[in-house]
Amino acid sequence: MAKIFAVANQKGGVGKTTTTVNLSAALAAHGQRVLLIDLDPQGNATMGSGIDKRSLPVSVYHQLVGLKSLAEVRTRAEAAGYDVLPSNRDLAGAEVEMVDLENRENRLRDALREVDADYDFVLIDCPPSLSMLTLNGLCAAHGVIIPMQCEYYALEGLSDLVNTIKQVHAKMNRDLKIIGLLRVMFDPRSTLSQQVSAQLDAHFGDKVFKAIIPRNVRLAEAPSHGLPGVIFDRAAKGSQAYLSFAAEMIGRVKEG
């Protein structure tokens, strides 16, 4: 059975897409069968996986509104080593169109049942909002991975996200839990980074992943080459950190 994780944080620019793309590639490098689902109309995870969002015949939009099955929409990211449910601007209209659909928050969950046997991991890149799209991600998932920067305002939005996850757990998806907080774009030389990081450890204990993703320019450069950083430059510090994070995730799934 596939383990399904949503990568979520309602703030933009906190490393959701970078984490989804690189964790997917790193899990694939560890021999796992992976499906990446791009739920952001910006299509950054699609482009970052080497798939051109401007020339998609079909996208996750068509699956969500019921025009196509998930199997008809998925495509292979050859160089990256995993499958993708791609996205582009079409998805921006989905929210409004879904208003009339029955069971609209479970469109993705229901579709994933068809392909459950094909994957070890399904990773969902959520948009920077707590919208119907993110809700579809949270309703489909077993767990949430929350990337965060260790800066002063990082903790501020966290309680909104945690409350949303609690509500989804209570009303819609009893499986859902926070798997962990992932420290990203970490600068070990910054005192503030270290203080916030220590605060996270103290508050959230083993909900904080051991792997820490450093700020690393190779991770930021990789999308312009249409590759995950882990494939673009495997030796880079950031790539190595995502490979460690993938090993940690595999360990956690094994432990149950």
Query: Rule CB under 6 A: is residue 237 a binding residue for ligand ADP?
Result: no
Q: Phi and psi (nearest 5°) for 221?
A: -80, -30
DSSP 8-class letter at 119 = -
The residue among 36, 29, 18 whose CA lies nearest residue 221 is: 18
* Residue indicated by tokens 């673009």: 232
Residue nearest to Mg ion (CB): 17
Query: Rule CB under 6 A: is residue 44 a binding residue for ligand ADP?
Result: yes
Q: Which of 4, 15, 32, 240 binds ligand ADP (CB under 6 A)?
A: 15
Length of the chain, please?
256
Q: Which of 3, 11, 16, 74 binds Mg ion (CB under 5 A)?
A: 16
Shortest distance, position 39 Cβ to Mg ion, whole Å: 10
Query: Rule CB under 6 A: is residue 14 a binding residue for ligand ADP?
Result: yes
Query: Rule CB under 6 A: is residue 17 a binding residue for ligand ADP?
Result: yes
Shortest distance, position 217 Cβ to ligand ADP, whole Å: 6
Give me 35's structure tokens: 């499906």
Question: Mapping DSSP to helix (H, G, I), strand (E, B) and coil, where does residue 126 land?
Answer: coil
Stretch that binds ligand ADP, among 10-18, 56-64, 82-90, 105-113 (CB under 6 A): 10-18
Query: Rule CB under 6 A: is residue 46 a binding residue for ligand ADP?
Result: no
Q: Which of 145, 184, 211, 236 binds ligand ADP (CB under 6 A)?
A: 184
Draw the binding track, 21-50, toward Mg ion (x: CB under 5 A; -: no contact): -----------------------x------
DSSP 8-class letter at 156 = T
Q: What angle do CA 33, 36, 39 make, to 5 degrees?
A: 160
Half-sphere exposure of residue 9: CA atoms within 13 angstroms, side-chain side: 25
What distance in Å separates the CA atoms of residue 83 and residue 16, rounded to the nearest whole number? 18
Residue ranges that bind Mg ion, judged by CB under 5 A: 16-17, 44
